[in-house]
Amino acid sequence: MLVRLSLLLLLALAMRNGNSSPLKEIKKAPHLKEELKKKHDPETLEELLNEDYALVEGDLLLGNNRNVVGNRWPTPSIPYDISSEIDGRTRDILAAMAMVSEHTCVSFHRKNGSESDYLFFRIGHGCASFVGNRGGKQEVFLAPECSVGNIAHEILHTLGFQHEHTRLDREKYITILTENIISGMENNFRTYNGETFDLQYDYTSIMHYGRKFFSSNGEPTIVPNRNVEDMGQRKMLTPSDIQRVRHLYGCDSLKGEKS
């Protein structure tokens, strides 16, 4: 009986190892990790390199489920803390927060002892965050490659915003070239039913993917249906990005709101 159980266990292990995905093999090879970092945007690296979370859309963390729902924070004043392991990125994190706060009513402050729901910035394989307020210590992952603009992009995710290219009406504006997408990464290009606030599709939104995100061959995965130079930019929030934040957090109804 013991011999039979041992054989069954060995068979199960062999089958599991035989079915391991290529990406998990990549994750175990340090030199291949470095190659991925050279070839791919930092917002895609958390999914390509991290085995601990179920991820969709590259930089979106969903824990153990894939229910993409972004809940707004109860107030526009968001508590945060920064891990000591990335103290050196404090200036960049504050600069990203300033990008969001400059023209909106959303602000950020260091958490106090009584605040249990807060953003916690820590080291990661790439740039990644959950969507909306999840409650408790909410991690935002930052790799050294994450720029100020990448961090601002993640902060907008934490406020409840999805990627622009996942809008239901995207076919009017972009074409997805599935043949160029890394196998197994197609979920990053699904559409979702989200709030658009009746704002036009924004090719240059800080929340829009670039042309070659998750490309398997260096060719575009997203092609705009008109000539656009800055699709996928991470330099600034666009006017429509600002309007979305203002709409979601009721900035126009608050006294002293910024314009």
Active site amino acids: 154
Exposed/middle/buried for residue 113 (C-beta within 10 Å: 0-12, 13-18, 19+): exposed
In DSSP terms, which residues pair with 83 in a beta bridge? none
Q: What are phi and psi of 141, to 5 degrees?
A: -95, 135
- What's the one-letter identity of residue 231? M
In DSSP terms, which residues pair with 224 in a beta bridge? 174
- What's the one-letter identity of residue 154? E
Tokens, residue 61: 């963390």
153 is in an annotated binding site: yes
157 is in an annotated binding site: yes
Tokens, residue 180: 């160029």
Q: Which residues contact 246 (CB under 8 A, 6 or more apart)?
A: 103, 104, 105, 252, 257
Distance from C-alpha of 65 to C-alpha of 232, rounded to nearest angstrom: 27
- What's the one-letter identity of residue 126? G
247 is in an annotated binding site: no
CA dihedral 128, 84, 113, 101 (to 10 degrees): -50
- What's the one-letter identity of residue 14? A
The alpha carbons of the chain give a radius of gyration, in whole angstroms, of 20
What are the binding residues for Zn(2+)?
A: 153, 157, 163
What are the binding residues?
A: 153, 157, 163
